[in-house]
Amino acid sequence: MAGLQDEQNHTNMATESDDEVEKISLGVRTKFQVCLNGAHNLDCGKNEGKVTKHFRPVNNEQGPKNLGVKPYFGSGRHGKCGNAVNKSVPDGKMTLIVDDTRFVVERNKFDSRPNTMLARMFSPSTDYGQKNDKGEFVVAQGVSSNVFKSILDYYSVGIIHCPPTVPIQELREACDYLLIPFNATVIKCHNLRDLLHEFSNDGAREQFRKYLEIDIVPLMVQAAKMGRRECHVVILTNDDVVEWDEEYPPSTGEEDTQIIYSSDLNGFFKYFENRDVAKEVLKERGLKKIRLGNE
C-alpha cells in the first residue's frame, strides 16, 4: 500500500497544470529555471526573479537526453515566451542588403524623396523591390556599405556626409546611380579639393552645353550646308585681330577655318580639365575625331 501511495503521489506531481508550476517575479531581470522531467520539485521557482519552465521527455523516455528533449512553452500566462527567438523584422520595417550588410529601415523612409531610385523602387504604386527567400531586399549593387550608410542620412536630414575613408568620386558615382542630387546643399566633405573638383566638372559641363548651342552648332550647320564633313573652329578673344600675311599664306585647310570671337569661351578652354569635359559632351552628342588644343 505504501508503494502504491508513493506512486500516486508521484503521478499527481507530474501532472499538475502549467499555471501551478510557473511562477514569475516582477524583478528587473527575469531568469529561467528548468525542470527536465516535466515535473517540478520543492525548490522550483523559489528564487526571486526566476520563472520555472519544464522540459518534457520525448518518446516517453524516463530520463532526459541532450539531443532528445524539446522546450515546452505552455499556452498559459507565458505562452508568448516562445516568440522571444523570432528575429523577424517588425511590422512597418524592411531589411535591405547592401554589400553583404543588412540595414533595417522604415518602409516609408524613402517617401520624402520621391524622385530618387529607392523611393521609386519601394513606392506603393510601383513596388519594384524583389525579395529573396528570407524576405530581404538586395539593392544598390556595387555600392559599399559605408557609402550606403551615409546615403541613408539624406532621407532623414537631407544631408550626406562623405566618410573620410571614402573617395569623393565613389560617393559621386553612388549618388548618380541612386538618382540623388550631388550639390553643395546635399554633400558635405572634409576634402574640399576633391569636392570642388567635382563641382567644377558639373559647372563646366553645363556651361559648355550653352556655348555649344549658341556659338558652335551654328558654325557646324553652316559647314554642313556647304558639303563639308568636318569643321575647324578657332576661338579668339574679343580683342584679337587676324591678319593674313601674303608671304605666309595659311596652310592647306586653314582657309576654311571658322572663327569665334569670345573671350569667355577662350578663357573656358584654357583649363585642360574643361577641354576634357567638352570632349565628353561632344562625344555624347555623337561627334567623332574630336581634337581640342590651346595655342
Place of cell 508503494: 3
- Position 241 scores a pLDDT of 82
**Residue 118 buriedness (CB in 10 A; 0-12 / 13-18 / 19+):** buried
Query: pLDDT tens-digit profile of 223-282?
Result: 999 999 999 899 999 998 877 666 665 565 565 788 899 999 999 999 999 999 999 999
Whether 81 has a pLDDT exceeding 50, the answer reads no
Query: pLDDT tens-digit profile of 157-204?
Result: 999 999 999 999 999 999 999 999 999 999 999 999 999 999 999 999
Mean pLDDT of 15-43: 46
Query: pLDDT tens-digit profile of 106-148?
Result: 988 898 899 999 998 888 776 666 788 888 898 988 999 999 9
Q: 196 pairs with which residues across the strands?
A: none
Take residue 81 and report the three cell numbers written for it.
Answer: 515566451
Q: 236 pairs with which residues across the strands?
A: 261
Count of CB atoms within 10 A of residue 109's CB? 18
More confident residue, 12 or 232: 232
**Residue 205 buriedness (CB in 10 A; 0-12 / 13-18 / 19+):** middle
- Position 249 scores a pLDDT of 59
Whether 285 has a pLDDT exceeding 90, the answer reads yes
**pTM given for the model:** 0.61
- Position 293 scores a pLDDT of 81
93-190: CATH class: alpha beta
Q: What are the sequence ranges of the domains in the chain? A: 93-190, 203-294
Question: Nearest 5°: phi and psi at 166?
Answer: -105, 125
